[in-house]
Amino acid sequence: MSEHDGASTATSGSQGGAPAVILTVDDDPEVSRSVARDLRRRYGGDYRIVRCQSGGEGLAALRELTLRGVPVALLVADYRMPQMSGIEFLEQAMDLVPSARRVLLTAYADTGAAIDAVNVVDLDHYLLKPWIPAEQLLYPVLDELLGAWLAGGHAVQAELRVVGHQWCRRTADLRDFLARVQAPYRWYPVEQPEALRLLEAAGADAEPLPVVFTAAGQILVAPTRTQVADALGLGTAPSEPVYDLVVVGAGPAGLGAAVYGASEGLRTLLVERTAAGGQAGQSSRIENYLGFPDGVSGAQLAQRARRQAMKFGAEVVTTKTVVALRGAGSQHSVVLDDGVSVAAHAVILATGVSYRRLTGDGLDEFTGRGVYYGASPRQAQDCADKDVVIVGGANSAGQAAVHFARHARSVTIVVRGPSLDASMSRYLIEQVDALENVTVRTCTEVLSARGDDHLTAVTVCDVRDGRTDTLPTGWLFVFIGAEPHTGWLHGRVARDDHGFILAGPDLLHDRRGERAPDTTSRSAGRRKVDESPAAPPAPSTIWPLHRAPYHLETSVPGVFVAGDARAQSGKRVASAVGEGAMAVMLVHRYLAQQ
């Protein structure tokens, strides 16, 4: 490995701790030295340049850097290498350093492969060899990529050290949060001597856990997500009292709304209670999203969308929950859980859904200690050579099964229905069927869980004949049901019997699918409203105005809904993103009439 030297540049990656890394991989010693030399000459003052001569060596270096909490800003890999090509290296590197920018070096004859890699590894750029002069062909490209990496806030993230217990619910929640915001940290299980030395040096006890140590010297004992987000430099409070548009929820629908709202000139605030991505952000690989034929992870898609929204000027607030919606007419008020209230001319509700909780004996007790709702990519590494049980038969469950199967000894999918055909896409069913270490148990449900300090086994039941069976496992992941995050809107916005938000034409019917009562008088010669599609709807207890509601408009004029929280929504990433964009178009139409 080569240490950094050379002149400083404007794109500094050395803020807030150790300098970020630019890592190069090339098996040709001459080319490898040439790449490192040009990188040191331009970026050596602000970045550490690490040179590797094989894909395996590069992955080993990335694992070491990740373990030490050193941020990696840029990966530069040659396409043609023995044992592991540059594309294969970058694809595996995505799991270790998902926020790093990726560049492929290729000869002219291999440009077709480089273009294919744009989708395979979410490639940021490919460069033709040789890149002479570097001032014209190399540095402008890398300057732009490093600038984008810095704009994403990665360089100002302090290195974190986390001491905790693997089977502690609070620790599991913290590690999942750090994974979802792609924050580098070093993990110290409390049983290890090094963890005990850290606690002793800090004067902290082994309870409560986790304990977080920041590069700035802060010691956070059992911190809230907001405290951790503040330590990472993430926005946790609105900067303005009034916005044109407030988007509640940063799943695919909310991110889509924030991108289109900000890009079209609306002062946009995006509020997210955890991290960007929603349920989709936990997907290991989404393969049916338009434009990504080889798939993209939910975390990558979410983080790229978040950066895109911020590039256009959207303000993103994380770890804050919206608890109330007030106001009417052209002025709405969104109240956060810390009591802060912001005004908005229009609001888009993109609160999404969460997985339904299992109710059997012991399942709640072991939540966070072997029972998990959803899954983060890091957990696949924890499950190496273990037996994993996945509950659910939709796409999210299938994606998780395929991902876990790469690491786990066995994966068992438990689904209540007679097959996966009713809820899982065909491409995923075929992938699951092809995996030798994956078993699908149909017509089965989980009854209970047992263990000591963590889960050790679950009892399942065949719903056809009531026979039970015990599955030894320390890892149960649940992907069932879709409960909307709309309880806080009770009595404020019309919802169906399951809590999903009614919008557009649905507002002209009550929750049983009938026409809402007409509160206006009708003369004998006047045509009934429901017989004349062109006539404006009469005011009702659900929809108060004479004009028809816009397609995604809720029972509160100026408040729109997009994505999974909407009644009868498509429950797919593409449809959610599309609804987010459509909602912004309708917001413009609404604002033009005010």
Domain boundary among 478, 495, 511: 478
Q: Are residues 564 and 443 in the same domain?
A: no
pLDDT of residue 273: 92
Residue of 129, 147, 152, 142 whose CA lies nearest to 40: 142
pLDDT of residue 131: 80
Q: Which residues sit opposite 445 in a β-bridge?
A: 461
pTM, 2 dp: 0.73
Q: Are residues 556 and 491 in the same domain?
A: yes
pLDDT of residue 541: 57
Q: Are residues 460 and 572 in the same domain?
A: no
Q: Which residues sit opposite 296 in a β-bridge?
A: 286
Domain boundary among 462, 478, 494: 478
Mean pLDDT by 10 residues, the chain (594 residues): 36 59 92 91 92 93 82 91 87 83 78 60 77 84 88 58 90 87 83 86 82 87 93 92 97 96 97 88 81 77 88 95 87 95 97 91 93 84 92 93 93 96 92 96 96 95 95 96 90 93 85 39 34 43 86 96 94 93 97 89
Domain boundary among 173, 200, 232: 232
Q: Are residues 25 and 146 in the same domain?
A: yes
Q: Are residues 138 and 49 in the same domain?
A: yes
AA identity, residue 318: T
Helix (H, G, I), strand (E, B) or coil at 410: strand
Q: What is the DSSP string of 205-262?
A: -SSS--EEEETTS-EEES--HHHHHHHHT---S-S-SEEEEEEE--SHHHHHHHHHHH
Phi and psi at residue 118, to the nearest 5°:
-55, -40
pLDDT of residue 578: 96
Q: Are residues 349 and 492 in the same domain?
A: yes
Residue with tokens 């002219």: 108
pLDDT of residue 13: 55
Residues 310-349, buried b or exposed e (16+ Cβ, 10 A)?
A: bebebbbbbbbbbeebebeeeebbbbbeeeeebebbbbbb
Q: Are residues 488 and 340 in the same domain?
A: yes
Residues 4-41, buried b or exposed e (16+ Cβ, 10 A)?
A: bebeebebbbeebbebbbbbbbbbeeebbebbbebbbe
Q: Are residues 195 and 87 in the same domain?
A: no
Q: Are residues 491 and 342 in the same domain?
A: yes
The answer to whether position 16 is within a domain reads no
Q: How many domains does the chain have?
A: 4
Q: Are residues 412 and 493 in the same domain?
A: no
pLDDT of residue 9: 38
Q: What's the domain range around 30?
A: 21-151
pLDDT of residue 118: 59
AA identity, residue 530: D
